Each structure stands twice: as structure tokens, then as C-alpha cells.
Structure 1
Amino acid sequence: MPPAQRIDVGEVTLSVHLAGPEDGVPVLLMHGWPELALSWAQQIEDLAKAGYRVIAADNRGFGASDALHPVEAYGVDHLVGDFTGLLDALGIEKAVWVGHDWGGILMWHAACLVPERFLGAIGVNTPHLPRGSVPPTEVFRERGGEDHYIVAFQDEAMDEFFAGREEDFFAFSFAGPAPSADLDKLPDSITHLPKRFDNFVARGGLKSEDDCVVPPEVRKVYAETYARTGFRGGMNWYRNFDANWERLGGVDHRLSMPCQMISAECDYMLPPKLAGWMPMLCKDLDMNVIEDIGHWTQYEAPTELSELMLGWLQTRFPNG
């Protein structure tokens, strides 16, 4: 990873990693939960070597970036403003935005709200979806009850749930995927992350490194970072699901910029079939599925992910 630098983006200061030539086509990488800019380490290196100007920040509330306490400080306008503010601070008018997990949700929201700041968009695991007819937490509650992790995270007492258990938490979180053939057979309780985590710890935690897709030295960085920062910042992103849904009412979700979607065959939270909406929403769309991997694409298939991204970038946005 290139060294981080702190950049004032307006409301907050972000910890940002920059790589590649300053005159390269800018590519903005946005991470998910519970991750950091570190999750993009391989893509930062590969894209920079190919001549792209790579920008990867710890999101607001994560890692070495500023973390504000109020829940409302993590609404979509604030978060999108962080990244447009980052582009402004770097003197960049437009970039290719790339998002995974929550970074993908925010990236697609931004594509709807500030399309003038986009050259193109790449979703990793997270597809662009139409706005639902009811608030998202109602959907999650219907699917998984009060124990659905997104419903559970609405309670601010959950800020401390994983505290002191960070090493176990990341061993649990970065577990390998279920076989793709079993995805439709998984019970709703698969979404009960807090209960499943307690059971994982009670059974003695990680039994074998073969059960985890992220190596121990990387998990150690995550565990030490989250032990220092806590989990509130990231959970506040979840606490804005319904407010963001309200904000996006009346906003056109159809996108005209070039888009690439990279799904993971065995991601039980974001299965490839969810991307089935995208041809109706994205005018210019390239769709891909990486086989035999789950949610943690940057770790499970780093080379294939970089190759897919670069194949598309070099066709649509070549340097020079």
C-alpha cells in the first residue's frame, strides 16, 4: 500500500492512499463494511502499474479517517460529499468510481445524485437496484426478523457488541463462502450475524486458516484498527438506510455513464441474480461473474478482479 495522507474534504478529513501517475485516468475506490482502503491493496498496485491515477480512502467513520458521532452525519449527502470533496481537493472533475459492499451502495447512489462527477462506474458484488416501495429496514425485518444484522445494527447499543473480540470478529467475518449450489437453500438465519458470531466464539472461534479467506497478518491489521476506532462509524452507515431511501425518492435511477458489474457466484448476501435489474437501469452495461468465490472478492480473487477491471477500463477509458 502507498503511504496514507490526510486530505481535508470539507466536513471531515479522510485518510487517502494515492498511486499511479497524476495524469492517469482517475479511479476512485470505495470500500465496504467491515473493511478499510486496505481491502483494495492489490487493485491499487495493479491499476497504478497500468497507468491509472488510483485514489483509495478510508471512508468517513473508518480507520484513520475522521469519525463523527451523530447518526445523521452519515447520511447519503454527507458521504457523497466526502468523495466529491476529495475529487475537488485533488483537482479532479470526473473519475471512474468503484465500490464494493457499502462502498458499492454509496457509489450507485452517487451515480444517481452527481452523475456529472462520473466517467464511469464499477460495482464489485454490489449491484445497482431500483428504489424499493417500502423502507429497507422493513424488508430486512420481514426477511430475517429482529435478529437480521441490519435490523439489529439500528440499536446504538450494538456499537459495543464486538468490542474486545475484534480478532474473533474478523476471523468470523472473513469466512469462506457457501457453495453456489446451496445459496437458495440457506436459511434466513444466515443474516443473524450477531447470534452467529456469539455461537462462533462459543465454539472456540476459527478452527483452521483454511476456513478463512483473509490471511492472519491482514486480519491483525483490521482487528488492531477497529480495536482503536470502535465500530460506531461503520454501523452509522447502516442506521441511515431508511433516511437514504427517503432522500432518493424522486431521483432518477437510470444511468447513462458506462457501467461495469462484477458479481461473485457464491456471495449469499449479494447473489449475482440481484444484478438482474441492471440492464433496465444502466444504458451502457458490461456484466461479469467470478465463479467459486463469495463476498470478499478483493481477497478471494484479487488477480481476476484486477484483470476484469483493467480489461474494461483499458477499453472504455484508456490512458493517453
Structure 2
Amino acid sequence: MTNSNTFPTPTLISVNGVELEVFEAGQQNGGHPIVLCHGWPEHAYSWRHQVTPLLEAGYHVIIPNQRGYGASSCPKEVTKYDIEHLTGDLVALLDHYQYKDAIFVGHDWGASVVWSMALLHPERVSKMINLCLPYQIRGEKPWIDFMEEFLGDDYYFVHFNKQPGVADAILDENTAQFLQNLYRKNAPAQGPGEGMEMINLAKATQPLGEPVMNDEDLSVYISGFKKTGFTPSINWYRNLNRNWDLLGKVSPILQQPTLMVYVKKDIIPPLPNIKDFVPNIDVKSLDTGHWIQEERPKELNQLILEWLKK
């Protein structure tokens, strides 16, 4: 699977009771691992613009399709997608390469996994870079209960949990249309929509704004989700309350050097008191939308490489 950025050929690696499809470059840079973790509904391929710059900067670049995505295993049991399993996969991946620790980079759900990796396995994370999704404070109420109270039953995180299978089926029926409608930029601002946002996107026949990527690149995502269906990746959302329980067992303070990159055209707000939880953090912002690696790869790569040089 290559394009002008020469995305690496994948290998299937057995870790933590599953097989992960891993795209790897820069084995000659052994000893300097950087692990890139994609979000939802993404694919390891979302990092294609970062591979060559990181390679040239001397890193061993490791990009897994996490469980539930691409050619990686898709366990049937919902709890197999909790944060213990997702971070356990990354720990086992480091063990596979015989690395004590690594730099981790996460976008969207991948950022949530990286924050949790630093909480549950702090000794395995040397530094971290997270895009779009800030540290999530573990409040007094489990996350889905909290969202239901403030955002209602139709908010897609809640809907995924309360009506299992409903959104999955509609997304599966409209895979290409859903992804074409989702991966857009410069769309006009919409008021709060009725119903479930992701179902609406899957059913919409007219996409808004401009495409984030060309048809060839988007086809990688479409073929990935046609292979797995959406249920495995949506099962990540179905573990949010379970994750809230699991993360209650560890200290909420993260000491690792961290870069947080916000985007200005996103619905995810910054966390004003992030330094209370991540004291060793640098915060940057780019004037772009949610699909930051696709929309502003050069600016993002420059931010990452300058920060890593520090």
C-alpha cells in the first residue's frame, strides 16, 4: 500500500492475544522508537505524511492498525476493547521490538489511548504528543453517564452505548458515503442537529465543504471498514464507563514531557487547567480542522520535529 509518501508494507505481529497489522519504517534507526496511534474512524494510513520526516529525523516509526481496524484482529467480545486491552497491545508491541519505552503520538481516540498508556504504563512512555483530544479528567460520574446527562440520548457516544447495533448497521450499509461525508474541511457551521450525528452523516447524500483527501487515499479507509465493519471500532466507545473504572486505580498526574496540539476548527474544546494534570506540557494550536495530519501535514510535522529536538 503506497502513495507518493511511500507508506510502508504491513506485517502481522502477534501481541497480547491478538494480531496487529503494523506498518514500520526506519529499522536502521533502532533504539529511537516512535509509535503513532490513529483515531476513529481512521486507519494507520492516516499517518502517511509523517513517516518520511520522522524517518529522516532518525526515528524507528511504528504505526499499528489497532485492534478492530484494517487487517488487525477484531475480537467479538465488547470488553476486549477496553483501555486495559488497548494499552496492553502497545506494551506488547514494545516488548516485541525489545524496547523499554517509546515516544507515543495519538490523534483523536488514539490520543485517548496514549493518555491512558501514560497513566497505566508510565514507565513505557518516554514522551508523548497528542492531537486534538486533551487529557480527559476522570470526574465523579462515569463518562457515558455524564455525557447522557449533559448531551442527551442522541449524542453519538451515548447512542453507541444505549442502542448497540443500530448505528453500526447504518454505517456498514453506507460505508463509502459515510467516510466521504465525514472527511471534509471548511464545511459551513451547522447548528445542533436532530438525532444521531453519525447516522445523519452516513445517510446524507450531499457532502458539505471540501474533501480532506483524494479518492485514492480515501479508498484505503473505505476498504478497511468494508473488511471489518464498524462494530469493532465502535466497541471502543462501549467501554468508556469500564475505562473510567479501570483508570480510577492509578494516579491522575502525568509527568512525561508532553506536546498537546489543538486545532481551532474543532468541536473538542481545550482543557484550560491541563497543566494541573500534565505539568510538563507544551501547548500549541493550528488553524485547521479535526483531521490535522491530513489537512496541515507540513505545519504539523514542523511542530512535532521542533518539539522533539528540544
**Aligned equivalent of 1:112:** 119
Alignment CA distance shift 1:190-1:294 (3 Å): farther
CA offsets per residue over residues 222-268 of structure 1, 9 Å max, x none?
11221121011101100000000011114211111101101101111
Unaligned runs of 5+ in 2: 1-6
Change (3 A) 1:13 1:199: closer
Q: Decide whether aligned partners of structure 1 residues 191 and 217 sit closer, same or farther in structure 2, where only a CA change above 3 A counts.
A: farther
Contact 1:178 1:294 in 2 (8 A): no
CA-to-aligned-CA distance 1:15-70 (integer Å, 9 cap, x gap): 00111233252111000000010000011121012111111000101011111010
Matched, 1:224 2:223: yes
Give matches, 1:108-187, under 5 Å: 108-154=115-161, 155-157=163-165, 158-177=167-186, 187=191
Other-structure match for 2:234 = 235
CA–CA separation in structure 2 for the residues paired with 1:57 and 1:190: 35
Aligned 8 A contact 2:144 2:158 in 1: yes
Partner of residue 299, structure 1: 294
Q: Deviations over 1:189-233 (max 9, x none)?
A: 388323422551xxx3337xx522122211122112211210111
What is the deviation of 1:305? 0.9
Displacement of 1:132: 1.6
Q: Is the 8 A contact 1:62 1:233 kept in 2?
A: yes
Partner of 1:311: 306
1:194 and 2:190 aligned: no
Task: Give the distance between the partners of 1:196 and 1:146, measured in 2 at CA.
Answer: 15
Amino acid at match of 1:6: L
SS at match of 2:36: strand
Give the distance between the partners of 2:38 and 2:103, measured in 1 at CA.
Answer: 14
User: Per the alignment, in what secondary structure is the counterpart of residue 103 of structure 2?
Assistant: strand
Distance 1:277 1:175 in 2: 30
Contact 1:264 1:295 in 2 (8 A): yes
SS of equivalent to 1:93: coil
What is the DSSP-based 3-state SS (H/G/I as helix, E as strand, rest coil) of the residue aligned with 1:257? coil
Partner of 2:4 in structure 1?
none
Q: Alignment partner of 2:171: what SS?
A: coil
Is the partner of 1:133 in helix, strand or coil? coil
**Which SS does the other structure have where 1:161 is aligned?**
helix
User: How many residue pairs get matched?
Assistant: 301
Of 19, 32, 36, which aligns to 1:13? 19
Query: Which is further off, 293-302 or 157-166?
Result: 157-166
Matched residue, 1:244: 243
RMSD: 1.8
Indicate the SS of the match to 2:213.
coil
Aligned match of 1:318: none
* Aligned equivalent of 2:95, options 77, 83, 88: 88
Maintained 8 Å contact 1:178/1:266: no
Single out whichever of 248-257 and 49-58 deviates more from structure 2: 248-257
Shift of 1:160: 1.6
Cα distance in structure 1, aligned partners of 2:202 and 2:35:
36
Residue 130 of structure 1 and its aligned partner are, at CA, apart by 1.9
**In 2, Cα distance between the equivalents of 1:142 and 1:215?**
39
* 1:143/1:188 contact within 8 Å kept: no
Q: Which runs of 5+ in 1 are unaligned?
A: 316-320
Letter in 1 for 2:88: G
Alignment partners' CA distance in 1, 2:254 and 2:202: 41
Distance 1:305 1:99, change over 3 A: same
Q: Any conservation in 2 of the 1:74–1:237 contact (CA below 8 Å)? A: yes
The CA deviation at 1:89 is 0.3
2:10 matched to 1:4?
yes
* Secondary structure at the counterpart of residue 27 of structure 1: strand
Structure 2 residue matching 1:222: 3-state secondary structure? helix
Contact 1:164 1:227 in 2 (8 A): no
Which is further off, 154-163 or 43-52? 154-163
TM-score after normalising by structure 2: 0.92
Q: 1:124 to 1:91 in 2, by over 3 A?
A: same
> Match of 1:206?
207
